[in-house]
């Protein structure tokens, strides 16, 4: 899976494809509607999904690795109880730091995964990704 050009934009719902960049902002395309718009760096912050990580007990785990684990264990409903969401996330990433990873973070990861999966973007694109996905599903 390639998360390279996918960004979250503060103040705007959903995920966006980065179409281009300028010195004063980014040109992004809404992944749902396909509409392209300019977002100024004065008004928005941009978070490339490729750089997102989740805190673990020792370091951080890249979002891509978490998504690969989630492919083997499909996410539960976002309306599930907080305890169920924590239990699910513990199955996907056993060493995540429960003090620094909040329920809103877990919901956001699940929401992003579901959205990208619906768009058909949750396909392992390298042999390493395929091996990780296979290893995750065999651990169960």
For residue range 13-34, list pLDDT tens digits in order: 999 999 999 999 999 999 988 8
Confidence of residue 138 (pLDDT cuts 50, 70, 90): low
Q: Are 93 and 110 in contact (CB under 8 A)?
A: no
Measured between its terminal Cα atoms, the distance across the chain in Å is 22
30 and 80 assigned to the same domain: no
Encoded tokens for 29: 């395309």
Q: Are 4 and 17 in contact (CB under 8 A)?
A: no
Inside any domain, residue 1: no
What's the pTM value of the predicted model, to 2 decimals? 0.84
79 and 41 assigned to the same domain: no
77 and 102 assigned to the same domain: yes
Domain span at 71:
52-138
74 and 125 assigned to the same domain: yes
CA dihedral 89, 90, 92, 95 (to 10 degrees): 120
Separation of alpha carbons 5 and 18, rounded Å? 5
Confidence of residue 129 (pLDDT cuts 50, 70, 90): low
pLDDT in tens, 71-117: 999 999 999 999 999 999 999 999 999 999 999 999 999 999 999 99
Helices marked H in 20-75: 63-72
pLDDT of 133 > 80? The answer is: no
Separation of alpha carbons 127 and 45, rounded Å? 33
Separation of alpha carbons 30 and 49, rounded Å? 15
pLDDT of 127 > 70? The answer is: no
Inside any domain, residue 110: yes
The greatest distance separating any two alpha carbons of the chain, rounded to the nearest whole angstrom, comes to 47
Q: Indicate the number of domains in the chain.
A: 2
Confidence of residue 41 (pLDDT cuts 50, 70, 90): very high
């Amino acid at each position: 899976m390639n998360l390279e050009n996918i960004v979250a934009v503060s103040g705007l719902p959903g995920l966006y494809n980065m179409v281009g960049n300028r010195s004063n902002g980014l040109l992004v395309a809404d992944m749902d509607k396909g509409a392209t718009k300019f977002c100024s760096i004065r008004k928005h912050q941009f978070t490339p999904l490729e750089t997102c990580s989740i805190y673990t007990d020792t370091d951080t785990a890249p979002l891509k690795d978490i998504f690969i684990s989630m492919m083997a264990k499909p996410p539960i409903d976002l309306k599930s109880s907080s305890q169920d969401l924590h239990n699910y996330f513990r199955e996907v990433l056993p060493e995540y730091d429960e003090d620094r990873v909040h329920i809103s973070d877990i919901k956001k990861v699940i929401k992003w995964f579901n959205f990208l999966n619906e768009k058909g973007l949750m396909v392992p694109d390298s042999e390493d990704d395929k091996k990780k996905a296979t290893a995750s599903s065999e651990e169960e």
